[in-house]
Amino acid sequence: MKEQWRLLITENNSAYTNMAMDRAELVSVSEGKAPPTVRFFTWKPAAISIGYFQSLNEEVDLAACKNLGVDYVRRITGGGAVYHDKELTYSIVIPESHGQIPKNIMQSYGRICRAIIKGLNQLDIQSKYVPINDIIANGKKISGNAQTRKLKTVLQHGTILLDVDVEEMFSLLIVPNEKIRDKMISDVKQRVTSVKHILGKDIGFKNIADAMKIGFEEEFNIELNEGTFTEEEIELTNKFEREFFSTKEWNHKR
């Protein structure tokens, strides 16, 4: 029998809840209280996440976020600012000691990204991993990824863009000046694509989630069974949301 991993599907949560869930899973898997876990999720309201090392005030136009009802949150992973709107976000949480996960960090990025590539392949989208942390299709970025390792456990999360509004994204980010804003918008339009752009049609969350499920199952030779959070994970999620991700101390710490 194939190894059984847990699949969680959580749509329409806030940025704080989503980041707290990832961290709760990390604790739970590290203590052996849950099997390796893959989660597919969306954000409501739309939100900007910034990398652990980024300065919130330097990257995000907080007033614009407030006006447009967009949340912002600091991740526990490094990497850049991401506008989470029309996308599927995934996370995988797995012990560092698991045989399927390379010890080398860059190699493990590649390995996990291959699951996403196989998922996109299910939708007839050809893509490839480009180090450090991107997946590109037709020469343009379709997915960004970020990994941390804590408690001897790997957490990698990332996005698969279903559609992208570059103007809206840049209205929420700090740019040096308006002239550069236009240049940055046209540059990013050249460099970023989406599932909708490639397929020429909208594809629902369920379809992309089904495709990604197969991608993970094939890449890791496992079965993903849809499950639920444990009681302890729910408590931890509430705790991390309250004590970290929704607080000024955490989000403004850099």
**Residue 102 touches other proteins, criterion: CB under 8 A:** no
The structure tokens listed for 175 are 């740019």
**Residue 53 touches other proteins, criterion: CB under 8 A:** yes
**Residue 205 touches other proteins, criterion: CB under 8 A:** no
**Shortest distance (Å) from residue 149 CB to other proteins:** 6
Helix (H, G, I), strand (E, B) or coil at 217: helix
Neighbours of 70 (CB within 10 A): 23
**Residue 143 touches other proteins, criterion: CB under 8 A:** no
Of the candidates 157, 209, 212, 220, the one whose C-alpha atom is nearest the C-alpha of residue 25 is: 157
d(CA 163, CA 191): 14
**Residue 48 touches other proteins, criterion: CB under 8 A:** no
Q: Which stretch binds other proteins (CB under 8 A): 16-24, 89-97, 143-151, 156-164?
A: 143-151
Neighbours of 72 (CB within 10 A): 21
- When the beta carbons of 52 and 205 are compared against other proteins, the nearer one is 52
The structure tokens listed for 149 are 């390792």
Q: Which of residues 172-201 bind other proteins (CB under 8 A)?
A: none
Query: Which listed residue (44, 149, 181, 197) binds other proteins by CB under 8 A?
Result: 149
**Residue 150 touches other proteins, criterion: CB under 8 A:** yes
d(CA 73, CA 51): 9
How many chain residues interact with other proteins (CB under 8 A)? 22
Helix (H, G, I), strand (E, B) or coil at 84: strand
**Residue 80 touches other proteins, criterion: CB under 8 A:** yes
**Residue 251 touches other proteins, criterion: CB under 8 A:** no
**Residue 95 touches other proteins, criterion: CB under 8 A:** no
Query: Which listed residue (13, 18, 77, 246) binds other proteins by CB under 8 A?
Result: 77
Torsion of CA 96, 98, 101, 103, to 10 degrees: 50
Query: Which listed residue (81, 88, 101, 172) binds other proteins by CB under 8 A?
Result: 81
- When the beta carbons of 151 and 199 are compared against other proteins, the nearer one is 151
152-173 residues labelled b (16+ CB within 10 A) or e (exposed):
ebbbbbbbbbbebebeebbbbb
Residues 47, 64: contact at Cβ < 8 Å?
no
Look-up of token digits 């991608």: 215
Q: Which stretch binds other proteins (CB under 8 A): 16-24, 34-42, 47-55, 161-169?
A: 47-55
**Shortest distance (Å) from residue 174 CB to other proteins:** 11
Where along the sequence are the contacts to other proteins (CB under 8 A)?
51-55, 58, 76-81, 105-106, 132-133, 146-150, 254
